[in-house]
Amino acid sequence: MRARRDPVNLLSLDTSTLTGSAAVVSDGLVLAESTARVRATQSEQILPLVDEVLARAGLTLDRIDRIAVGIGPGSFTGVRIALATAKGLHLATGAALYGVRSLDALASSLWGAQGLVLAVLDARRGETYAALYRLHGRERETVLAPFHGSPASVGARLSSFEGPIAVVGDLGADDLRALTSDDPRFTVAPSVLATPLARFVAYEVIAGRGLLDEGALEPLYVRGSDAKLPGGRTVTP
């Protein structure tokens, strides 16, 4: 008789946008997930989300086998805080630590789609973070790695691609119009899919696309900061 295997418990979190989220996933099943509008400057808002999903899942930190965290691009401060929190939990528990690109997690929300998918996030200052993927059922190919630019320039960069393009992300209506320019190739996904939720961060790890790097993960900023200190040093906001 085969020995009974303990489930693999995964804790995931993402605060790359103003919608922070945490989830507990056990052998692919979401046991608990919580989302909240968070202020990226307040790190104390993240741990309560973690405590909440652990309590609702009926688990304690010592039962977590893997930790997954969104590493950006997105809110500079939010990404840093989430990554620092995940690293702290990794050190406290010994659970394996995985990083997931926020745009990859967004693309996962359209699992099962066929063809081109453009994942976008508001980069502020009139710019957009974007990455282009080609989905083939369960398989996904990165066509354009994460980049940034104005919504119009992102749309222009896609002018050479043929066929329908599904757009998923958190851009406002004006930015979406600038990106798509009323081109019928573009179809915008519903806004309920516009956030890289923790469950999709977890799915990226389950699908084997997470970046396993025990404690040495770094934020994926894609662009630098405009803030300067005396002497020319750059400050990341």
Q: What is the pLDDT of residue 224?
A: 66
Residue 94 counted as domain residue: yes
Q: Are residues 86 and 118 in the same domain?
A: no
CB atoms within 10 A of CB 224: 9
Q: Are residues 89 and 121 in the same domain?
A: no
Q: What is the pLDDT of residue 42?
A: 57
Q: Are residues 162 and 182 in the same domain?
A: yes
Consecutive H or E run containing 133: strand 127-136
Q: Which domain holds residue 154?
A: 111-193
Q: Are residues 72 and 144 in the same domain?
A: no
Q: What is the pTM of this model?
A: 0.89
pLDDT per residue as tens digits for the range 24-62: 999 999 999 999 887 655 567 889 999 999 999 999 999
- Dist CA 205 CA 169 (whole Å): 20
State the CATH number of the domain containing residue 205. 3.30.420.40
Which positions of the chain have pLDDT values less than 50? 1, 226-237
Give the count of domains, the chain.
Answer: 2
DSSP 123: E
Q: What is the pLDDT of residue 192?
A: 87
